[in-house]
Structure 1
Amino acid sequence: METEKENEIWYAMRATYRRESDAMRLLEKEKLGCFIPMQYKISVKKGKKIRALVPIIHNLVFVHARPSEVKRVKSQVTYLQYITDTRSGEKIIVPDSQMQRFIAVAGTYNDHLMYFQPDELNLSKGTKVRVTGGEFEGQEGIFLKVKGARDRRVVIEIQGVIAVAMATIHPDLIDVIE
């Protein structure tokens, strides 16, 4: 009866030893929501170029489920672990709105997206903005200069886990949020 009262929440989790695809299959079999940020990479196998969808950060899995369901699945599988905040020691739980924005951008598998570890960007230097047109219309993030890009980009962050910088967006398609 207690599981009926629980809400589904997003957990940032780790599937050790690059077993994120195994974890995803297991979670889907258990009818639990999950998301792994992926991108296309070109590799050469037997002299042929192959374009394959691979995880951006190995071992990273976002799980959308009730706490009791996650606990049950975790008890069956040793390689699925919570990612904890280094300062507080608490499990990292991602707000639904933040996760929806992240999935809307990272789920496009756009080749021009750039990914960063949280400590690589100083988001306090940026401006909070909303994209008003194009592929990422309606998304909100922080507009700032990121390393490896000539121009400023809109960044969406999952606090303490990962940040994604969108492809270059023309300044006319960006509104500042007060």
Structure 2
Amino acid sequence: MELKSAVIGDAQRDPEGGTTPPRTGLTPDALPEVSTPTEAENSQTGVSTNYIQPTKEPLRWYVLRATYGRVKASYEYLAQKGIEVYHPTIFVYRMVNGKRKRLEESRLPNIFFAQSTEEILKTYVFDNVNLPHLRFYYRYAGLGNERTKEPLIVPDRQMESLKIICGHKEADNVVVPNDKHQFEKGETVIVTDGDFKGVIGKVARYCKQLRVAVIIDDFLTIATAYVPRGYLKPYTPNDKT
């Protein structure tokens, strides 16, 4: 089955890893005082914000899940509080009341990303008054009663690659949960030219085309459209494009 700019289970649309269903437990908490946020910058491929957060802890990218179609409201709320958020979107055409309309939809249903510390984000995830539908996306480990969970963190390198790929709304990109499909994967490479310059991931072949796949453990795989072999070179941590 060929996928073009689509998420498994969705209609067709114009890193490096399996996945398990997210689960959370909620407890009420108070909201912290935060600095005045900057305005969100909107684009057809996502929303990202700049931020100022008073913390000495390292900032990391967390995967957040907003249930019941509340992604937009959730990320806008966090952006207003000064949290940097990223929500990859795509434009699709659908029939609405007999008319063909251009709509903006999430590339990853119910999912967006926030860069902060776990402690800061907990005050929002566990805020049942203002954000009752917001959850962490968890990574699970262990077996049976010994299973543990922790919020899923996406390394900076993979987030940058994900943003580059999602930035090309018309590209023949592929997004699939890790438990639904596995690409034929090879060595880690960096894209040195073209639309996907700067993407770092595994060489992948999908639908008989050479691509670069970013595999986010326990979450999903996102692959570029076709990349010429001449645009690829083996990646080492010190490489720069």
Taking structure 2 as the reference length, the TM-score comes to: 0.66
Q: Is 1:7 matched up with 2:51?
A: no
- Residue deviations 1:69-109, cap 9 Å, x none? 21222233221111111324221111122212211221332
User: Would the aligned equivalents of 1:84 and 1:90 in 2 still touch at CA under 8 Å?
Assistant: yes
CA offset digits 1:13-46 (Å, max 9, x no partner): 1101121111111111111111122222211123
1: distance between equivalents of 2:232 and 2:185? 17
Q: Aligned equivalents of 1:143 and 1:10: distance in 2?
A: 24
**Contact map agreement 1:102 1:157 (CA 8 A) in 2:** no
Aligned to 2:195, the other structure's residue is in SS state: coil
1:32 corresponds to which letter in structure 2? I
Letter in 2 for 1:34: V
Corresponding residue SS for 2:95: strand
> Which amino acid counterpart does residue 152 of structure 2 have in structure 1?
I
Unpaired stretches in structure 2, ≥5 consecutive residues: 1-53, 142-147, 237-241
2:158–2:200 Cα contact (<8 Å) kept: no
**Contact conserved, 1:6 with 1:67, CA < 8 A, in 2?**
no
Name the residue aligned to 1:72: 123
Q: 3-state SS of the aligned residue for 1:68?
A: helix
Letter aligned with residue 126 of structure 1: G
Output the CA distance in 2 between the equivalents of 1:20 and 1:167. 26
Once residues 169 and 66 of structure 1 are traced to their aligned partners in structure 2, the CA distance between those partners, rounded to angstroms, is 35
Partner in structure 2 of residue 95 of structure 1: 155
Aligned-residue offset at 1:115: 0.5
**Counterpart amino acid of residue 107 in structure 1:** G
Structure with the larger RCO, 1 or 2 (CA within 8 Å, 6+ apart): 2
Unaligned runs of 5+ in 1: none
CA distance in structure 2 between the aligned counterparts of 1:62 and 1:4, rounded to whole angstroms: 19
**Equivalent pairs, count:** 174
Residue of structure 2 in register with 1:63 after alignment = 114
- What is the letter of the counterpart of residue 162 of structure 1? L
CA distance in 1, matches of 2:149, 2:124: 21
Change in Cα spacing, 1:124 to 1:44, as seen in structure 2 (3 Å) is: closer
- 1:1-178 alignment runs, 5 A limit: 4-76=55-127, 77-87=131-141, 88-122=148-182, 125-146=185-206, 149-177=207-235
Paired residues of 1:20 and 1:60 also in contact (CA < 8 A): yes
Q: Residue type matched to 2:197 in 1? A: E
> RMSD between aligned alpha carbons?
2.0
- Aligned partners of 1:107 and 1:82: how far apart in 2? 24
Higher helix share: 1
| Partner SS, residue 4 of structure 1 | coil
Other-structure match for 2:15? none
The answer to whether the 8 Å contact 1:11/1:62 transfers is yes
